[in-house]
């Protein structure tokens, strides 16, 4: 634990190290080269860590592009004073265009029909006098910039490669739009045993060539997420889109030997610590059950600690009888069913343990450390899911 946090009320909190995020940004910039643009993926409240303070810090450090998932997320950043470019990665729902344009959010076209919707909205808004205010441009550009998303094999969002010709025809009819960027998304960038990423890259390059042959400049080309930034230089193009690595977390690479190699090359610092305090301690005899469903039964005389954090705070229920937290610099097992608000630990082995002791759920205490990405691997999920699970009622402190 580096700095002390003073928490009012319920003792569970998250510490987010902005210094670590800036360090990780530096690592990413060195990896991809200083000339390449960085689009910081701050969607879903920056993976639950806090989009506003993180985007502000990154913008001050020179990041000019931010990626969100919908207009609400973009508007939140505009209201907080973010002036950089904000790309709405997941496209837009018909009706959302006006809001995107009014707040200078850059839309993504991921279906053919989107082009006509955007054109109509851009035309209508250009005829109106511009509003002034945060995020609102006093003089609108002649053409509304948008990015095109192409489905190269993930089969989730994006226009299909055979639709490129129709897209080009539709775009040619639009007087108020400008294709500013073209991108795709990798499905298995961290899997270096599968050929899927190479195939997606091949399809993407073909699409870029087709666009160019049709007289459409693809603009800023981008493809790489964290896994690809770590190990697929040919996918870096003009801009990269880091999410997890910006927050200090490695993907689970295949083959697993790559894990160490990437760690050495890209020394990331995890940004999240999550802590709580012991609020109750009880001594149990052998054979006593702990928690809902009696899923833990003591094997001998045991000291059980209760902390004020449960699955509503981010200790996911899959960790029932699984994994550890840190008490007095020692890894201690979680026991019994994780409940909504409370979790129990078997602290029998901790001398002098006391009510009020800090328990580190994620982060470092002495030489012991629990990293979110390691927990994710243990319970067969991804780091982003665990970060997003940190509950709204957990106060975040930015250090
Ligand atoms: C389109 C897009 N680009 C980039 C990212 C960032 O991914 P990662 O966190 O793996 O870097 C995401 C996240 O899901 C995404 O949806």
pLDDT in tens, 318-377: 999 999 999 999 999 999 999 999 999 999 999 999 999 999 999 999 999 999 999 999
* Ligand 1 close to Cβ of residue 242 (< 6 A): yes
Nearest protein Cα to ligand 1, atom 8: 243
Q: Is the bond preceding 255 in cis, omega lying within 30 degrees of 0?
A: yes
For position 3, what pLDDT does the model report? 60
- Helical (H) or strand (E) element with 284: strand 272-284
CA–CA distance, 38 with 54 (Å, rounded to integer) = 14
Atom of ligand 1 nearest to the CA of 251: 10
Q: Which domains does the chain have, with CATH numbers?
A: 18-265 (3.20.20.10), 272-398 (2.40.37.10)
315 close to 375: Cβ distance less than 8 angstroms: no
- pLDDT at position 7: 84
Quote the pLDDT of residue 138: 46
Residues of the chain falling short of pLDDT 70: 1-3, 129-141
Global confidence as pTM: 0.94
With a 6 A CB cut-off, is 149 part of the ligand 1 pocket?
Answer: no
pLDDT for 132 equals 47
Give 223 Cα–ligand 1 centroid separation in angstroms. Answer: 10
Please count the other Cβ atoms lying within 10 Å of the Cβ belonging to residue 250: 23
H or E element in which residue 239 lies: strand 239-240
Q: Is the CB of 226 under 6 A from ligand 1?
A: yes
Which atom of ligand 1 is least distant from the CA of 244? 9
43 is catalytic: yes
* Per-residue pLDDT, 139: 54
């Amino acid at each position: 634990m580096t700095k002390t946090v003073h928490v009012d009320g319920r003792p569970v909190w998250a510490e987010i190290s902005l210094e670590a995020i800036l360090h990780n940004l530096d690592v990413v910039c060195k990896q991809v080269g200083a000339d390449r643009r960085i689009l910081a993926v701050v969607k879903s409240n920056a993976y639950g860590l806090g989009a506003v303070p993180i985007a502000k810090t990154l913008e001050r450090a020179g990041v000019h592009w931010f990626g969100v998932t919908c207009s609400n997320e973009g508007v939140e950043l505009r209201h907080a004073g973010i002036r950089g470019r904000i790309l709405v990665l997941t496209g837009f729902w018909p009706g959302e265009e006006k809001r995107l344009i009014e707040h200078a959010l850059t839309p993504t076209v991921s279906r053919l029909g989107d082009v006509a919707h955007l054109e109509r909205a851009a035309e209508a808004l250009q005829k109106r006098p511009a509003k002034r205010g945060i995020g609102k441009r006093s003089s609108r550009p002649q053409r509304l910039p948008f990015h095109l998303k192409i489905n190269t094999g993930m089969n989730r969002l994006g226009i299909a490669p055979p639709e490129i010709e129709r897209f080009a025809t539709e775009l040619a009819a639009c007087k108020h739009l400008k294709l500013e960027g073209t991108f795709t998304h990798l499905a298995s960038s961290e899997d270096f045993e599968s050929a899927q990423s190479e195939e997606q890259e091949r399809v993407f390059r073909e699409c870029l060539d087709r666009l160019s042959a049709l007289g459409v400049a693809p603009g800023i080309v981008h493809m790489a997420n964290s896994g690809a930034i770590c190990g697929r230089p040919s996918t870096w193009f003009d801009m990269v889109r880091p999410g997890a690595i910006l927050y200090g977390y490695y993907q689970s690479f295949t083959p697993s030997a790559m894990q160490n190699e990437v760690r050495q090359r890209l020394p990331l610092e995890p940004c999240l610590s999550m802590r709580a305090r012991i609020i109750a301690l009880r001594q149990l005899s052998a054979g006593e059950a702990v928690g809902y469903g009696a899923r833990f039964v003591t094997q001998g005389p045991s000291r059980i600690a209760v902390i004020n954090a449960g699955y509503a705070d981010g200790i996911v229920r899959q960790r029932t009888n699984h994994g550890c937290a840190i008490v007095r610099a020692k890894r201690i097992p979680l026991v019994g069913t994780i409940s909504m608000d409370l979790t129990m630990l078997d602290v029998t082995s901790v001398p002098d343990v006391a009510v009020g002791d800090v328990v580190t759920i994620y982060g470092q205490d002495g030489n012991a450390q629990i990293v979110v990405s390691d927990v994710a691997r243990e319970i067969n999920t991804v780091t982003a899911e665990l970060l997003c699970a940190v509950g709204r009622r957990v106060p975040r402190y930015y250090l």
